[in-house]
Amino acid sequence: MTSRERILSAVTHAPVDRVPIDFGGTRQTGISVFAYARLRAFLARNEPRGAGAALLLAMHAPRIFDLYQMLAEVEPAISARFGSDCVLVNRPSVAFGIFNDEWKPWRLHDGTDVEVPDSFAPEPLPDGDLVLRRGGEVVAQMPARGFYFDRLEKYPGALHPDLDAWEAPRVSAADLRHYRTEAERLYHTTDQAVIAAFGPPFELFFGLGTGGFEDWMVTFASEPEYVSALYRKVTDAWLENLEAFHHAVGDRIQILQLCDDFGTQAAPFLSVRAFRELLLPAYKRGLDWIHQRTSWKVLFHSDGALVPLLPSIIEMGVDILNPIQTTAAGMDPRRLKADFGRQLAFWGGSCDCQGTLTRGTPEQVAVETRAHLDALSPGSGHVFASVHNIQANVPPENIVALFDTALEYGRDR
């Protein structure tokens, strides 16, 4: 099978020749640039018969395409080495309004040379922290010798006193040209499934509190009429944006990704009743549009303990769930497959990213990974990926063990 065929077969529960793999296909299945630089060096030293050196031949320094999370751009040679079957159409400006249109050299605090967008100009503070400003206001800060930026800017969107006078943003013509060009390029120059992240203008639950998430939670719980009216305005804009986006990319993307966060590690943030009364109708309006007018499959990212919400998440039109945080309450892979595997495809669920992947041995990573593959992959309906992004302190040996176990899985069965 081609990579595109493999992904589409898996997410429609059709047979596959091996479990599909995602390494860097979304902003939630990527890798910290610190870990990525060490992985490249490890491959150069350890791949057989000079293959590692060949991988790095003529490569530029690792690029940081997402400055918020300090994520590396996974290069095609590395993607191919680990059998990745999908590729991402990203926004032209991924984080903090910084465009990824030009690149310049920069050095990480550990001495690693990387490339960053040309307009990335962090301001060093006396204590060694780095800050990013927009319009004179600090919007992000990275601690000295830190691994990613903390977002300090307020979330846009909610708590507007006059909704009649407020409009959610529409996608720009420049962004649409970018999406069209990138979707066309990736569709015709790769055989991978093409993913695009294009949700509502703001995450409907986790991205709407101008005064902070706590203030938004109070509004969400105490002013349902206001929240419903706000959601109507935001989804009106989303439907207009979807129409324009679909016109730009057509069927050159196969999977549309949405992100929101509904769960803590112990339980959902909100009750099933609140979810069904407020969030489900708003999201369903957009997902119905997608399913009625496109061939796209909907990949929804939410961390945490989601089991109580999963029937409603399925009802609102989600086809594929990510990241399958197996250490969160109730998120046992075997239970998920048994209870929801006919209605949902699962994307992720590979290995405990907070424990085994970071602190275990390669052998322990392989054992846990195989157990989760045995739980999630039978009968198809599973795409293998890291449980959220691979963090800065994950050893390269464990990353190799993670993906090589998945590559060997199909051949061993």
3-state secondary structure of 197: strand
Q: What is the pLDDT of residue 400?
A: 97
- Residues 54-113 have pLDDT tens digits of 565 546 899 999 999 999 999 999 999 999 999 999 999 988 989 998 999 999 999 999
Query: What DSSP state is assigned to residue 279?
Result: I
Class of domain 3-30+82-93+153-411: alpha beta
Domain ranges of the chain: 3-30+82-93+153-411, 32-40+58-73+97-152
Phi, psi angles (nearest 5°) of residue 310? -60, -40
Instruction: Give the pairing type, strands 297-301 and 255-259.
Output: parallel
The answer to whether the Cα torsion of 212, 68, 22, 296 is positive or negative is: positive
Give me the amino acid identity at 237: A
Query: How many residues would you count in the chain?
Result: 413
End-to-end CA distance of the chain, in Å?
Answer: 17
The answer, yes or no, to whether residue 215 has pLDDT greater than 90, is: no
Give 117-161 pLDDT, tens digit per residue. 999 999 999 999 999 998 888 999 999 999 999 988 766 555 566
Amino acid at 133: R
Where in 7-151 does DSSP place strands (E)?
Answer: 21-22, 64-66, 71-72, 86-89, 93-95, 98-99, 103-107, 113-117, 123-124, 130-134, 137-142, 150-151
Q: What is the DSSP letter of 35?
A: H
What pLDDT is attached to residue 58?
46
pLDDT of residue 56: 59
Mean pLDDT calculated for residue range 195-212: 84
Question: How far is residue 62's CA from residue 37's CA, in Å, rounded to a whole number?
Answer: 7
Mean per-residue pLDDT over the chain, rounded: 93
88 neighbors 79 (Cβ within 8 angstroms): no
Is the pTM of the predicted complex or chain greater than 0.75?
yes
CA distance 272 to 285: 18
Closest C-alpha to 213, from 279, 159, 280: 159
pLDDT band at 53 (very low <50, low <70, confident <90, very high): low
Angle between helices 224-249 and 280-293 (to 10 degrees): 20
**Do 305 and 283 touch, CB atoms closer than 8 A?**
no
Which residues are bridge partners to 105 per DSSP? Answer: 115
Q: Tell me, what's the pLDDT at 314? A: 98
